[in-house]
Amino acid sequence: MPKTAARQKTETKTTKAATNGNNKTAPKDAPENEVVETGIYDVKQAQAEFNKRRKSQIASIKKLDKEFLGEMLYQMILGRLFERKCAEVYRMGKIGGFCHLYIGQEAIAVGSMMALKEGDYSITSYRDHVQAMIAGIKPEAVMAELYGKATGNVGGKGGSMHMFSKEKGFFGGHGIVGGQIGVGTGMAYAQKYKGTDNVTLCFFGEAAVNQGIFHESLNMAQLWKLPCIYICENNQYGMGTSQKRAMSISNIAKKAEGYAMAGEFVDGMDVMAVREATLRAIERARKDGSPTLLEIRAYRYMGHSMSDPGKYRTTEEIKKYQERDPIILFQDSLKEAKVFTDKDFEEFVARATAEVEKAVQFADESPFPDESELFTDVFA
Ligand SMILES: Cc1ncc(C[n+]2csc(CCOP(=O)(O)OP(=O)(O)O)c2C)c(N)n1
Ligand SMILES: [Mg+2]
C-alpha cells in the first residue's frame, strides 16, 4: 500500500467515525465522558524503540521467503480493506446489529495465526472478522454472515460476533467478554488429552483480564500444563473505559507471574515481533504443554463498535497512534530489505480491493435464510 494512500484513507475515514467528529474534551460536570489520557504507552518512546529494533525486524524478514512475507502483508491489507468496507456498508444499512471492527490491530492476528500449523486452534471475542478470514473462512462467507444472508459463514444466524468453523479450527466469535478464555482453555485441554502436539491461540481484550474466568483459566492451564497461548490484545480501551481507569496495574504480561506462567509484552504494531513472540510460546506449548500469556499492545482506530459516539478520546490521540500504523511499518521494512517495491504494494491493494468487492457482491446477491430456518439450530 503506498504510504500516503494508507495513511490518508485511514485518517480521514476512521478517525471521524471513531470520534463521531467530536474531538472536544467533555465538560467537567460529565465525568463519564471525561477524556482521560491512558498515559501507559508513550508513542514517541515506542517509535524510538521500534527504530532501534528495525534492524532486527529486517533480520527476521530475511529468514522468511518472499511468498510467505507477501501473504502476511496481503492478509493485513485484506483485513484493513475488508473492515473499511464493513464500515461503509454498515452505514448504508446493509449490516444490522453489533459490528466491531479490527482496524489498527491487524498485526496481532496475522503475526500470531500465521505461525500456526495444521490441527492448531484459535478462538476470539466478538472482534472476529479478520481472525476468521486468516483461519481460512472466505471473505464472501464473512461478509454474507454480516449481512445475515443464508450463504453466510453460519447461515446468517450469527452475524458479526459469531463466525465459526470447526473444519478450520476457528471456534468463534464470542459475545461474552472473557467467555472464550474458559472455552479456549478447554480446547487446549482436548488437544493435550488426545495426545497431539497442537496448540490453541486464545485472543481476548485487556478488559477481559479483569474477569474471574481469566484468572481461573490461567491457574488451571499452568497447573495442568495446557498448550494454550493467551493473547491479550491490549487496545487500551474496554468500550469507552481506558485501561488506566479500570486496572490497578498497567503491565498485563506481568500477571502471568501470579500463576508461575511465562509472560511477554509485545509491540502489536510490529507484525514480526508478534510472530516471533508467538513462535517462542508455540515452542514451549508443543514441547510440554506449557502455556504463555502474551500482552500484545496495539490501538483500535475505530470506535468500540459501529454505534460508539467516541467521546472518551481525542482525534489527536488516534492520529498519534496511526503514526505507527502496523501496515506502513511492515511495508517500510519490506522495502528496506528489498523484498517488495511500492509497485508491489499497489498490486497487493488492487488484489485485496477486488477480493473485498467480490465479497460484497456475493453478500448483496445472496438470499436471506428461508422462513423454515427459523427453528433450526436453536438450542435454547
Ligand atoms: C460479561 C460481559 N460484560 C460486559 C459486556 C459488555 N461489553 C462488551 S465489549 C466490552 C468491552 C471489552 O473490552 P476489551 O475486552 O478490552 O475488548 P475490545 O472490545 O477492546 O476488543 C464490554 C464491557 C459483555 N459483552 N460481556
Ligand atoms: Mg480493549
The tens digit of pLDDT for each residue in 154-194 reads 999 999 999 999 999 999 999 999 999 999 999 999 999 99
Nearest CA to ligand 1 atom 7: 177
SS3 294: strand
User: Which ligand has the shortest distance to the CA of 174?
Assistant: 1
* 237 close to ligand 1 (CB < 6 Angstrom): yes
Please state which of the ranges 3-7, 112-116, 224-228, 256-260 shows the lowest mean pLDDT.
Answer: 3-7
Name the grid cell of 119.
490441527
pLDDT at 1 over 60: no
Nearest CA to ligand 1 atom 13: 238
Please state which of the ranges 187-191, 247-251, 255-259, 269-273 shows the lowest mean pLDDT.
Answer: 247-251
Nearest CA to ligand 1 atom 2: 177
Ligand 1 atom closest to the Cα of residue 234 is 16
Sign of the torsion formed by the C-alpha atoms of 174, 178, 183 and 187: positive
User: Which ligand has the shortest distance to the CA of 240?
Assistant: 1
pLDDT at 35: 43
Q: How confident is the model at residue 377 (pLDDT cuts 50, 70, 90)?
A: confident
Distance from chain centroid for Cα 188:
20
The upper half-sphere exposure of residue 150, i.e. CA atoms within 13 Å in the direction of its Cβ, equals 11
pLDDT at 16: 33
* 176 close to ligand 1 (CB < 6 Angstrom): yes
The runs of H, that is alpha helices, within the chain are 3-9, 16-19, 43-63, 66-91, 106-113, 129-135, 139-146, 179-193, 212-223, 243-246, 271-288, 315-322, 326-336, 342-365
Ligand 1 atom closest to the Cα of residue 100 is 19
Nearest CA to ligand 1 atom 20: 238
Nearest CA to ligand 1 atom 6: 177
Residue in the structure block whose three cell numbers are 477524556: 35
Is 0.75 topped by the overall pTM? Answer: yes
Ligand 1 atom closest to the Cα of residue 235 is 20
* 238 close to ligand 1 (CB < 6 Angstrom): yes
The string of pLDDT tens digits covering residues 282-304 is: 999 999 999 999 999 999 999 99
pLDDT at 176: 98
Q: For residues 271 and 274, give the distance between their C-alpha atoms in angstroms, rounded to a whole number.
A: 5
Task: Kindly report whether the peptide bond that precedes residue 173 is cis, defined as omega within 30 degrees of 0.
Answer: yes
Q: For residues 291 and 262, give the distance between their C-alpha atoms in angstroms, rounded to a whole number.
A: 7
Pairing, β 241-242 against β 237-238: antiparallel
What average pLDDT does the chain have?
A: 89
* 297 close to ligand 1 (CB < 6 Angstrom): no
pLDDT at 22 over 50: no
Q: Residues 6 or more apart from 317 whose CB is under 8 A from it?
A: 37
Task: Kindly report whether the peptide bond that precedes residue 195 is cis, defined as omega within 30 degrees of 0.
Answer: no
Ligand 1 atom closest to the Cα of residue 243 is 16
Nearest CA to ligand 1 atom 21: 205
Ligand 1 atom closest to the Cα of residue 305 is 19
354 CA distance to ligand 2 middle (Å): 31
Region 20-46 average pLDDT: 46
User: Which ligand has the shortest distance to the CA of 181?
Assistant: 1
SS3 26: coil
Q: Residues 6 or more apart from 190 whose CB is under 8 A from it?
A: none
SS3 174: coil
Give percent of the chain with pLDDT exceeding 90: 81
206 CA distance to ligand 2 middle (Å): 5
